Each structure stands twice: as C-alpha cells, then as structure tokens.
Amino acid sequence: MDKKIFERWAKETPKIRENIIKMIHQCQSGHPGGSLSAVEIIYSLFAKDGIMNHDPAKFDTIKERDRFILSKGHGIPALYATLHAVGYDISEKELMTLRHVDSRLQGHPDRVRLPFVEASTGSLGQGASIAQGLAMAYKLDKINNHIYCVIGDGEMQEGQIWEVALSAPHQKLNNLTVILDYNKGQIDGMTNDILKIDPPEEKWKAFGWHVQVVDGHIYEEIVNALKNTHPDKPSMIVAHTIKGKGISFMEEDTVKWHGVGPTDDELKIALDDIRNNNTIGL
Amino acid sequence: MSKIATRKSFGKALEELGDKYPEVVCLDADLSKSTQSQLFAKKYPDRFFEMGIQEANMIGCATGMAFAGKIPFICSFSAFLTGRYDQIRISVGYADANVKLIGTHSGVGIGEDGYSQMGLEDLALMRTLPNMVVLQPADDKETREMIEWAINHKGPVYFRLTRHGLKEMNMDKFEKPGIYPQLKEGEKIAFLASGGLLEYAFDAAKNLQNSGKINPAVYNANCANPLDNAFMSMLAENYQEFVVFEDHTVTGGIGSAISEWMSEFAVTPKRVRRYGVMNVYGESGTPEDLYKKHGFTTEAICEYAQKNLI
C-alpha cells in the first residue's frame, strides 16, 4: 500500500481523536484511554482505501460485507467517531448525544438502536464469540469475506475469550482476525499486575492461531499484518498500544484515564495536544 | 400409548424441517445424544456444529450466525444453557438475535443425575428478558408445532423440554404464544398445568369432577412469556381461583407470571396458587420417586384440592 495513504490517514485521525474526547467530555463519562488506544487499529479497517470491504451508503444491503465487532465495547467512542468520519449516517451533532437518554449512541454498542455497530457488546468476552459465529456462517456459505474483532487486554482475562481461542482454530476459521488492543491497563491498575496476560503472543500461538505482533499506532505495520492472513488458521494480531494515545496527561497517567471524562480545562489541553500532532500513525 | 420425551420430539422435528428451512443450523455442546440434536447432525452434517463443552461460546457463535442470516438452534441441558444467563441476556436478548435456545432435561423429572443437571430456575431467568418467547410444550405434537412456529418467528425463543416421556395430550395446534389450549371445561376453578404435570392435573380434575364436589377446568400453560392480555382477561372473568402446576421452582415460574398478572391486571384480583418445586433444591432419585416426593401425581393433586379448594 502506498505510504501516501498512511500520511493521509494520519492527517484524518486527529479529527477522530477530537470527536472522541469531545463526546466523552460532553457527557462527563465514558472510556477515553481505551478509545484512543484503538484509533489506528479501527481506522485501518474502515478508512477509504482501508482493509474492510464495506459501503456506508449501502449498509445492510450487502450481505457479503466484511464485519467488524468491537468486543471491548467500552471503546465505542472510537467506533462512533470513525463511523461518522467515513460516512455512516451519524452526524457530528448526533455524536454529541453519546450516553444521553433516547440516543442511538449508547454507552456500549447496541445494534438494535444502531445497526452499524453489528453486535451488542459491553459484557467482555462475548463479542469474540459473535465474531467467530459470523465467520462460521460465512464459511458455511462459502462467502469470501472477512470478520474483524478487537478485544482488550483486560478482556483476555475473561474465560469466554479462551473458549474462542480454543474453538476458532479447531474450526480452521481463516476468515477471522482478532486484534488485541494491548494498551496495558484496566480499571483497577496495570493489566499484568491485576492478572498477568503476558506473553499473549505465545499463548495464542499455543492455541493454534496465526500470530503477528505490531505497533498499534503505526498504520503500515497494522495494515501489513491485517493483509497477511493464513490459509487455514484464524489470525491474532497483538497490537502494542498506549492508553490515551495522543493526549499528554492521559499517556502519563493511563490507569486514571480508563473511565473518566475530562474537565473543561483538560479538554483544552487535550484538543491542543491533538491538533499539534498529525504524525500519529506513521 | 407410549410416552415420548419432548427432547426427542424436538430432534425429530428439526430433522424433518431441515430441508424446508435451509437457513436452520444447529449447535450443541457435547450433549447431542441427550438433546437429540444428533438426528439433525446425521442428516445435515455441514449445518451441525459440535462446539465441545463451551456453552458460553456456543451462545455467542449462534448470535453471530444469526447476524449472518442463519436460524441457529442451540442445544444443551436447560440448567447449563440458562446458567450462561449473561451471554443470553446481552448477546441474544438485548441484541434481538434470531437464536432458538433448546433447553432439555428440565425439572426434577430428569431423575438420577440430581440437582446440578436439573433446570429448575430456567423459566424464571428467561422470562425476565422482554423479547424472549418462553415455551414449554406438553407433548410430542405440540413440540413439533412449536419448533416450526419458532423457525418462522423472528427473534429469540427458549424451549423447555423434558428428558422423560410425556403422554400424548392431543395438542396438535399451536397458533401463538400466550393462548393456553383448553383440555377440559369446568367451573369456578381452573388448573393451569405445564409439561409433565399436565397429564396428572388433567386426571385429577376429572377425578374431582366425578367426586361431585368441584369441577376444575384444565388448560395447558405452555408459555411463560409473553402472556396474552385478552386471554388472561378471559380466564379472570370465567374463574374464581387458579392453581398453576409446573415442574419448576414456584419462584419465578409460570405460576409467578400468572400471579403477577392476576393480582395487577384482573378487574377483580384473583387468587393464584402455585404448585411446583417448593423452593428447595433438587436431588437424585428415579423420576417416579421424585414426582411422588414433590406431589406430582394425580393422587397428590386430588388430596391437595380436597384440602385447599373444597
């Protein structure tokens, strides 16, 4: 893929970060850290010239579209902001209804209110199984599309993740790629202090996955890994990321910024940080 | 006439309907011989998925398959399936996924395996989910009718099936959930009975009528959610008192559902008595011994009626 595409994406993503932080600020709740860590991963899939075969204008009419499941449902501001950025029917005004009563933009994904999110997640572990099921159904129908699923590192502590880890390779689901947003933090502390998941790549490899390790904030690495699938194994991409990526005070205190909204003053600093840095992703 | 377990009726129905409905797929978690999904598995090996002992993942995978246009039936013991309540609640219920849950081995009627394998609280769990249709067929024909109905219904459906054989009660029509078929006319008192208890409630009502003291009507209480307001109103207008019989804990079952309706919505609130597993855990024993212990016999029901209703 042409490097100019990645340069263009790097110029487009600050707007996504800006919307994420504004959305969380206006309702004073939500999960900035784990939303900002997943921005490049999600944008690599949805961006124009990105990996996924999808059409915002014809959503739901294309059965063979590639599917994206955000299993770490608390990272949803990143997905809402991305869907808006690439042309799905969510206006900037609607983005700012996040977590309001009657909004389609629930605090965690709700596919009944907003079908674009593809699955209702938020209870960790469940989205990965749903992604596996989509892969099973399309494989049965011999449809040549691909299912992508983002899980969190804290989420790797859930038993259901290990059911998927065992099951998807058994079924040879080469049409499934799970991406671990390895941002090292969870609510109560650093992931490897709370319940060690290291080394994730060896664990997934032992379960029979095609494992690749990337820097989750470098488009070229993410895209190359997404393209490099295996003929008969599901793929796991361990993406090393930084919680709160792009906002100085969040990167410095990642655990604090798991699940709180910024104050008015913090919002100003955050927006300055975002606007002054359009090289994230390169 | 020989009795047929509703799990077997399900297995045969799905096997027979597989050709007519190519979107139907079936998943099981290492219990296909018990749930009888093995019949579908043999006939449609490509559309059957042996998931291994992974009920949570099976529920999620079925959800994903439903989102891709399939009509998945997922099978396990009712205890193990509804034990994964969070997966059913979020992946299936909240997302309105078109998944059909087959919970077999419900009630103390499973016998020797004991409490850990008995679905005794499954109705209580499933009927709290607003869009979950919760069905308990009473015989072979009704199970088959309901399975085809569920295939054509868009949305989640939970089936409560039995390990043990149920007597043919001629339930050959199922139109919609919440309308209970009537088996016997009567006055003042109505017996509403589900699954394995319908046979005994029916026989008890006939005996009581013959005794000349009371003449209970009998209905097949085949659905715990949704209840039909018009049908419930009709019951409330026509009878003074109800007894609800079920092989399920009395807390949260069909008896509870009907009590809630009758106390809140009936023009004149009606007394509803719950007759089931009286807030105790299950145990091992032959199905016959356990049914006797819990009063699930014609004689015990007659005795209960003599004591409480006359």
**Distance, in angstroms, between B221 CA and closest chain A CA?**
31
Helices (H) and strands (E) in chain A, counts: 12, 7
Question: How close B91 comes to chain A (CA, Å)?
Answer: 6
Q: Are the C-beta atoms of residues B78 and A144 closer than 8 Å to each other? A: no
Model confidence over B72-122: pLDDT tens digits?
Answer: 999 999 999 999 999 999 999 999 999 999 999 999 999 999 999 999 999
Distance of residue A271 Cα from the nearest chain B Cα, in angstroms = 35
Q: For residue B91, what is the nearest residue in chain A, using CA coordinates?
A: A120
**pLDDT by residue for chain A (282 residues), tens digit each?**
789 999 999 999 999 999 999 999 999 999 999 999 999 999 999 999 999 999 999 987 778 899 999 999 999 999 999 999 999 999 999 999 999 999 999 999 999 999 999 999 999 999 999 999 999 999 999 999 999 999 999 999 999 999 999 999 999 999 999 999 999 999 999 999 999 999 999 999 999 999 999 999 999 999 999 999 999 999 999 999 999 999 999 999 999 999 999 999 999 999 999 999 989 999
**Contact by Cβ (8 Å): A248, A269:** yes
**Rounded to a whole number, what is the distance in Å from the CA of B63 to chain A's nearest CA?**
6
In angstroms, the CA B215 to CA B217 distance is 7
| pLDDT given at position A139 | 98
pTM across the whole model? 0.97
Instruction: Report the C-alpha gap between A279 and A149 in whole angstroms.
Output: 26
Look at residue A111 and give its three-state secondary structure.
Answer: coil
The confidence score (pLDDT) of residue A63 equals 80
Question: pLDDT digit string (tens) for A59-69?
Answer: 877 788 999 99
| Chain A interface includes B265 (CB < 8 A) | no
Minimal-distance CA residue of chain A relative to B24: A137
Tell me the one-letter amino acid at A277.
N
Active site residues of B: 55
| DSSP assignment letter at A94 | H
Please compute, for residue A27, the number of CA atoms within 13 A of its CA located in the half-sphere on the CB side.
22
CB proximity B70 to A under 8 Å: yes
Q: A126 contacts in B (CB within 8 Å)?
A: 56, 60, 86-87, 90-91
Q: CB distance from B69 to chain A under 8 Å?
A: yes
- State whether residue A160 sits within 8 Å of chain B by CB: yes
Round to whole Å and give the CA distance between A15 and A25: 15
CA A194 to chain CA centroid, nearest Å: 22
CATH architecture of A3-275: 3-Layer(aba) Sandwich (3.40)
- Each as own residue / partner, the long-range contacts of residues A240-243 (CB below 8 Å, 24 or more positions apart, any chain) are A240/A182, A240/A213, A240/A214, A240/A215, A240/A216, A241/A37, A241/A38, A241/A40, A241/A41, A241/A181, A241/A182, A241/A183, A241/A216, A241/A217, A242/A37, A242/A183, A242/A217, A243/A33, A243/A34, A243/A36, A243/A37, A243/A183, A243/A184, A243/A185
In terms of Cβ atoms closer than 10 Å to its own Cβ (0-12, 13-18, 19+), residue A156 is buried
Q: Cβ(A146)–Cβ(A228) under 8 Å?
A: no
Q: Which two tokens stand for residue A22?
A: 């504004």
**Chain A residue whose CA is closest to B26:** A137
Domains and CATH numbers, chain B: 4-166 (3.40.50.970), 182-308 (3.40.50.920)
Of B52, B63, B89, the CB nearest to A133: B63
Three-state secondary structure readout of chain B: CCCEEHHHHHHHHHHHHCCCCCCEEEEECCCHHHHCCHHHHHHCHHHEEECCCCHHHHHHHHHHHHHCCCEEEEEEEHHHHHHCHHHHHHHHHHCCCCCEEEEECECHHHCCCCHHHCECCHHHHHCCCCCCEEECCCCHHHHHHHHHHHHHCCCCEEEECCCCEECCCCCCCCCCCCCCCEEECCCEEEEEECHHHHHHHHHHHHHHHHHCCCCCEEEECCEEECCCHHHHHHHHHHEEEEEEEEEEECCCCHHHHHHHHHHHCCCCCCEEEEEEECCCCCCCCCHHHHHHHCCCCHHHHHHHHHHHCC
The confidence score (pLDDT) of residue B1 equals 67
Q: Is A46 helix (H, G, I), strand (E, B) or coil?
A: helix
To test the contact with chain A by mutation, choose from B74, B88, B90 the residue with the greatest count of A C-beta atoms within 10 A, namely B90
Contact residues on chain B for A160, CB-CB shorter than 8 A: 56-57, 60, 87
B61 neighbourhood in chain A, CB within 8 Å: 129-130, 132-133, 136, 167
Helix axes A3-27, A76-85, angle to 10 degrees: 120
Chain B residues close to A132, C-beta within 8 Å = 57, 60-61, 64
**Amino acid at site A42:** I
List the 98-117 stretch of B: residues with Cβ below 8 A of A. Answer: none
CB-based contact A132 B64, cutoff 8 Å: yes
Alpha-carbon gap, residue A106 to A77, rounded angstroms: 10
Judge if ipTM > 0.85.
yes
Domain boundaries, chain A: 3-275
Verify whether the Cβ–Cβ distance B67 to A121 is below 8 Å.
no
Which of A112, A125, A170 lies at the smallest CB-CB distance from B95?
Answer: A112
Question: What are the angstrom distances between the C-alpha of A202 and each of A167, A181, A195, A208, A212?
Answer: 17, 16, 16, 10, 10
For residue B93, the chain A residue with the least C-alpha distance is A120
Separation of alpha carbons A239 and A156, rounded Å:
13
Question: Strand, helix or coil at A178?
Answer: strand
Counted residue by residue, chain B has a size of: 310
Strands of the sheet with B239-249, listed across from one edge: B182-184, B217-220, B188-193, B239-249, B271-277
Rounded CA gap, B241 and B309, in Å? 9
Give the whole-angstrom CA distance, residue A244 versus residue A255. 9
What residue of B is the nearest CA neighbor of A112? B95
The alpha-carbon gap from B65 to the nearest alpha carbon of chain A, in Å, equals 5
Mark the ranges of chain B whose per-residue pLDDT is less than 70: 1
Residue whose structure tokens are 């139109």: B175
Report yes or no: B177 and B226 within 8 Å, Cβ to Cβ: yes
